[in-house]
Structure 1
Amino acid sequence: MFRIICVTNRKLCAGDFFARLAEICEGGADYVILREKDLNAEEYAKLAESALAVCGKRLVLHGPSALPLLRRVPRVHLPLSVFENSPEARERAELLGVSVHSPEEAKRAESLGADYVTAGHIFDTSCKSGVPGRGRGFLRETAASVRIPVYAIGGISAENAAAVREAGAAGACVMSGLMSCQDARAELEALRRALA
């Protein structure tokens, strides 16, 4: 099954952040990665507790601030460098994803025990303004380099979701498309229709 994963950025959110998370979960997103890098550990923990009440088992924590919270939420997504420095996270997490930017990094994450990797950014996106996307060839090469699922990230929309699946992605991560749209349920429906 091709997974649709929301990656949060509350600063892009149209309206109430938690109401948006509820829409995204009700709309059928497989996971919600709580990626709020500007918060300190205490602020992140508080936000994570509120997000957990909305998202339940769909919630995946992100980054080093997530590590102390793994007993409460045993699903985490880490930069490769953080995982390399905190390998004990593998034993404490039920689900562990890693961000990678090359096939070599994907292989390294897999060797350390990652359950999946996100590879990107694939297409040009306002979240990485001025930095060109790595493209479908990069995605194809990364997906072919590992046995674990590779989820595409960066500029994914209903218009190109089928193309990333054809390039070998097992799913797609969407940030701005789900955070800033007027109707998250409609956005998710459009993504699913494009993949039907």
Structure 2
Amino acid sequence: MMTTPRLLLVTDPGRARLPLLDLAAEAVAGGVDAIYLRHLIPGDDWAATLTHLRERLPSEVLLMAPGEPPPGIPGVGRHLRERDPLPQRRPPGPAYPLSRSVHSPGEAAHSTGVSYLLAGHVFPTPSKPGRQPLGLGGLARIAAVAPSPMLAIGGITPDRVAPVMAAGARGVAVIGAIGEARDPRAAARALRAAVDAAHTSVVKGLAMNPAPGVETTITITVNGKPRELPTGATVHDLLASRKLTGSMAIVERNGIILPRDSYTTTTLATGDQLEVVHAVGGG
């Protein structure tokens, strides 16, 4: 189970055109890989809603709850507010992702032990009226001390994705950009395309301008032949370097066939053994 999403949808019924289950399905079809169930319509039940989402969405989609997830629902993690203590019952990990909201470098520096951070708000947003946004400089200062991967939230649009990822974000989170869209699937698709393009650009930039002491390449084996890639490269990046799209290839990594919707979120590491089969006709 992935623990650091690229594109996270935060739910808010007051800023959504569709019912929650329909919105979630459309968003995931467009490229959302995680949903934070922050608000419900009064009277709705958390456990039932999470169960319905889990039944309707692909198992790879990460679900995050604002409190301790109900037992028996797989793939559900917990989101913490900036002052919430880490839960003691279960350690964070692939089976129990933890995320935390942060609004300053100090909060980020003390947020050890979580899977990823949600940093914001970066730009002006209706969900934070009258409050000063971090801006790209503030986001970069958080990224400099963050002990975990960071997602940016607050006023995120497709044209703002590249700047926030250049500032250190691993991905983005949105509320109204998808929830208020007339076509949530198309809105999610535009955001996801921007995130994937920005990720590839950042990875290439790190390879060309490495920080002192940082390994810039990994060595993997592809179809029996060694191959070097920039550190942080994903399966999607590998396929793109071979002029293949996800729909054109079947990828086996270390003996396990990967779901195609995981190609952009599966980061490769030195020693990985891959078999890539070109699926003629996109089958």
1:61 to 2:54 alignment: no
1:10 to 2:24 alignment: no
CA gap 1:86/1:52 in 2 versus in 1, 3 angstroms: same
Deviation per CA, 1:87-113: give whole Å up to 9, x if none.
Answer: 334358521111111112112212xx1
Runs of 4+ that moved beyond 6 A = none
32, 35, 56: which one aligns with 2:35: 32
RMSD: 2.4
1:134 to partner: Cα distance: 1.2
Aligned AA for 1:36?
Answer: H
When the two structures are superposed, what TM-score results if normalisation uses the length of structure 2? Answer: 0.61
Which whole-Å CA distance do the structure 1 matches of 2:117 and 2:35 have between them? 15
CA gap 1:118/1:70 in 2 versus in 1, 3 angstroms: farther
Which whole-Å CA distance do the structure 1 matches of 2:32 and 2:41 have between them? 24
1-10 vs 44-53, which deviates more? 1-10
Which whole-Å CA distance do the structure 2 matches of 1:182 and 1:78 have between them? 30
Which whole-Å CA distance do the structure 2 matches of 1:27 and 1:78 have between them? 26
Which whole-Å CA distance do the structure 2 matches of 1:37 and 1:134 have between them? 27
51-60 vs 86-95, which deviates more? 86-95
The equivalences for 1:1-196 within 5 A come to 3-36=6-39, 43-55=45-57, 56-64=59-67, 67-73=68-74, 74-82=76-84, 84=85, 86-90=87-91, 94-110=96-112, 113-195=113-195, 196=197
- The runs of 5 or more residues in structure 1 that have no matched partner are none
Which whole-Å CA distance do the structure 1 matches of 2:105 and 2:139 have between them? 9
1:44 to partner: Cα distance: 1.8
1:21 to partner: Cα distance: 0.7
CA gap 1:85/1:170 in 2 versus in 1, 3 angstroms: closer
Which whole-Å CA distance do the structure 1 matches of 2:35 and 2:160 have between them? 20
1:60 to partner: Cα distance: 2.0
Aligned AA for 1:157?
Answer: T
Task: Indicate if the aligned counterparts of 1:52 and 1:59 stay in contact, CA closer than 8 A.
Answer: no
More helix by share: 1
- The residue matched to 1:127 in structure 2 has which SS? coil
- The runs of 5 or more residues in structure 2 that have no matched partner are 198-283
Q: Indicate the structure whose relative CO is greater, using CA pairs within 8 Å and at least 6 residues apart.
A: 1
Which whole-Å CA distance do the structure 2 matches of 1:165 and 1:183 have between them? 25
When the two structures are superposed, what TM-score results if normalisation uses the length of structure 1? Answer: 0.86
Which whole-Å CA distance do the structure 1 matches of 2:83 and 2:106 have between them? 13
1:85 to partner: Cα distance: 6.0
Task: Indicate if the aligned counterparts of 2:119 and 2:151 stay in contact, CA closer than 8 A.
Answer: yes
Aligned AA for 2:144?
Answer: A
Task: Indicate if the aligned counterparts of 2:5 and 2:34 stay in contact, CA closer than 8 A.
Answer: no
Q: Give the % identical residues.
A: 31
Task: Indicate if the aligned counterparts of 1:121 and 1:152 stay in contact, CA closer than 8 A.
Answer: yes
- The residue matched to 2:158 in structure 1 has which SS? coil
